[in-house]
Amino acid sequence: MLAAKANDIDLKGKTVAELADQVLPALTTGMNLLRKQAPAEADNFRGTIVLALEAAQAHQSNPNPTMAEMARKITAALDAAGMAGVGSGAGAGPDRPELRKAIQEIVDSGFVGVSLRVNDERGEWVGSAGVAKLGGTAKPPVNGYVRIGSSSKTFIATLVLQLVAEGKIGLDTPVAGYLPEFGLDERITVRMLLQHTSGVFNFSGEVYDDGTVVLGIPIPYGSTGKEWVDNRFRTYRPEELVRLALSKPARFEPGAGWSYSNTNYLLARLLIEKVTGRSFAEELQRLILGPLGMSGTVAPGTSTEIPEPHAHAYYRYEDAGQDKTVDVTRQNPSWSAAGGDMISTTQDLHTFFSALNAGKVLRAGLLTEMRTPHPTGIPNMAYGLGVFVQDTDHGTVIAHNGGTVGSAALMCSTPDGSTTLTAGLTCVDDADMSIAAAFQNAQQRLVNEVFCGGPSDPVQPTD
């Protein structure tokens, strides 16, 4: 039908405005069909069109009223076709006003955009709120690509446990036997890496209980914000980061405490490559992405690019006494390669996390090992092997969140994988980590809504 409509369009001798008027019926018909047959893709397509219109206007050397009017007409037509509104719902289930309200509250708390996917007994719901780009009007694509930060750690832990099943790695074997080149403490086991109980210094820096800060590589938080901006396209070698971490005192004796350290997962990633003779990306494809049919997940290596469609990430910092905001959607992720560099979509995160918790990825015994809680000192929050285990009044939630500069992701599930929540978020990050508290509140708001029957408190705005 859409092709037939397109064939009726006469392009000869038309002004831009007249062309817009003639194209609109075909565009509206197509959008209505997409809404019925592939609602998530309809939202993505709307976002792509609006972004393209905004880009076209931005590249005009002088303001063009005709172009602006065409953009207004096309955007209005898309909205009339059902593309507009905060958190447009999609999927087999009914509209979920409580979810639309939740993601709007998260945007109101300081985020630029939020994309949410929920799968439960009521079906699937997807939606987004906010904008894909500062100054724009297009919503974030509901299944756009996002840098998922430390949610990558669950993928790494899963690969290690799959290699345990293949007999290539021993969970309680000293890591030094696999990676002798680093001179690791021989008491540190593979389990300790995945559990964050090795005591190894975090190469991105440590904050101790007495308030002492020990710097690692330049990161976008604290005093090294501008330095990170200036070096955000730099390539870090994994061995360089490990050796920096090992040059610092350990936080505690192996197994004597719990402390979240990116170095643990960088070592785990190197372990995967060492015992298989293949790259992390190749093993990820062999053991997870290929078997689960996940085509929207990327291990980018040192590439600064992120596939389209995606929302934009930002960073605010001070330079010579002036506040500056820079688009950091493109950045070299090698600085966060320790289980923090992957790119994915809410659909792929759902596919992975629901299958993992349903017992379709790991053997039963290894899944039990993964989700065996170890105390962290965080109330009602333990850590297994690559997953957080959260106790709520309504049962256990298995989860991992992740954040990198200007972007964040959430994966949450019931232990049987029957209910999942996956989300991608973008923000204006800063050296003071002003958004961090809002991110924690956002995660808890969504967990309460999806897993606990409703919100306990609204998301609080940041200052």
Tell me if 320 is assigned to some domain.
yes
Convert the pLDDT of each residue in 323-339 to its tens digit.
999 999 999 999 998 88
Does 49 share its domain with 166? no
Of 120, 95, 92, 78, nearest to 36 (Cα)?
Answer: 92
| Judgement on whether residues 35 and 167 belong to the same structural domain of the protein | no
Q: What is the pTM of this model?
A: 0.82
Please report the pLDDT score of residue 202 as a whole number.
Answer: 96
Strand 314-319 to 420-430 pairing: parallel
Q: Is residue 94 part of a domain?
A: no
Whether 72 and 160 map to the same domain: the answer is no
- Residue 139 in any domain: the answer is no
DSSP-based three-state secondary structure for 426:
strand
pLDDT for 189: 99
| 291 and 391 part of one domain | yes
Q: What sign for the dihedral angle of Cα 391, 397, 400, 406?
A: negative
Tell me what the mean pLDDT of segment 12-24 comes to: 56
**Which is more confidently placed, 256 or 68?**
256
Residue 349 DSSP label: H
CA dihedral over 177, 156, 385, 290, signed as positive or negative: negative
**End of a domain among 60, 84, 108?**
84
Picking from 56, 84, 112, the residue at the C-terminal end of a domain is 84
**Is residue 132 in a domain?**
no
Assigned domain for 428 exists:
yes
Report CA torsion sign: 347, 416, 421, 389.
Answer: negative
Domain boundary among 67, 84, 101: 84
| Average pLDDT score over the chain | 86
| Number of domains comprising the chain | 2
Give the separation between CA 107 and CA 121, rounded to whole angstroms. Answer: 26
**Residue 443 scores a pLDDT above 80:** yes
Q: Is residue 419 included in any domain, yes or no? A: yes
Q: Confirm whether 346 is domain-assigned.
A: yes
**Would you call 375 exposed, middle or buried from its count of C-beta atoms within 10 A (0-12, 13-18, 19+)?**
exposed
Q: Locate tokens 């965080």: which residue?
A: 378
Same-domain pairing of 319 and 392: yes
Range of the domain at 59: 1-84
Domain of 244, CATH number, reads 3.40.710.10
User: Domain for residue 351, yes or no?
Assistant: yes
Tokens at residue 72, please? Answer: 């207004």
The answer to whether the beta carbons of residues 272 and 156 sit under 8 Å apart is yes
Task: Reply yes or no: is the peptide bond before residue 309 cis, omega within 30 of 0.
Answer: yes
Kindly state the average pLDDT of the residues 120-149.
96
